[in-house]
């Protein structure tokens, strides 16, 4: 694929999968959260974990259709975290602190979005002597370790979520 063909294909995939994922995540957090408040954190864990195999298909897939399928699925699952993260974050702070808390969250997310490509590029450059043209592919695969690490933290956070929400409600 040419760069323009890849861009057009990914734009369509990301638009549809991203919107569907955000809406699905919002629906699921409402539905599951009514049954058990810990789903506010568990859904973040599952969204991160479920998106890893399709990311691997995207980065390592042997054909364009498989890579686009992986990109669609990984984007769908990964986009599911938006609503649960906002729900979790606003529930963990008192009503008087929500604006500052949201600004802090946004700052860290923008830092991650900014530093992620820089660090991935650095890893890719380090891998280039051994991996050649595939160095970026392997650097992207390596970056999934951070996603698994985040999933572990969201899973662990669920253990005390009821008490944490209770404490936040007193502020």
Q: At what angle do helices 135-157 and 39-60 cross, to 10 degrees?
A: 170
The residues near 138 (Cβ < 8 Å, ≥ 6 apart) are: 124, 127, 131
- Distance, in Å, from the CA atom of 116 to the CA atom of 84, rounded to the nearest integer, reads 22
- Distance, in Å, from the CA atom of 138 to the CA atom of 70, rounded to the nearest integer, reads 16
Q: Which of 66, 97, 77 is nearest to 147 (CA)?
A: 77
Q: Which of 17-26, 34-43, 81-90 has the lowest mean pLDDT?
A: 81-90
pLDDT digits (tens, 9 = 90+) for 108-128: 989 988 999 999 999 999 999
Query: At residue 67, what are phi and psi to the nearest 5 degrees?
Result: -65, -40
Instruction: Tell me what pLDDT residue 29 has.
Output: 95
Instruction: Tell me what pLDDT residue 94 has.
Output: 82
Rounded to two decimals, the pTM is 0.88
Please name each of the domains of the chain with its CATH number: 3-169 (1.20.1250.20)
pLDDT band (50, 70, 90) for residue 55: very high
């Amino acid at each position: 694929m040419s760069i323009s063909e890849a861009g057009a294909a990914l734009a369509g995939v990301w638009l549809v999968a991203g919107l569907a994922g955000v809406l699905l995540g919002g629906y699921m957090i409402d539905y599951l959260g009514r049954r058990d408040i810990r789903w506010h954190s568990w859904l973040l864990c599952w969204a991160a974990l479920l998106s890893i195999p399709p990311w691997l298909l995207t980065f390592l897939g042997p054909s364009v259709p498989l890579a686009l399928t992986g990109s669609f699925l990984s984007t769908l699952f990964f986009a599911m975290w938006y609503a649960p993260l906002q729900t979790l974050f606003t529930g963990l702070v008192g009503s008087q602190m929500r604006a500052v808390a949201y600004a802090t969250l946004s700052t860290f997310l923008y830092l991650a979005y900014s530093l992620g490509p820089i660090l991935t590029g650095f890893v890719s450059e380090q891998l280039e002597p051994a991996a050649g043209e595939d160095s970026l592919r392997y650097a992207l695969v390596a970056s999934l370790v951070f996603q698994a690490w985040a999933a572990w933290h969201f899973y662990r956070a669920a253990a005390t979520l009821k008490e944490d929400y209770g404490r936040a409600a007193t502020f």
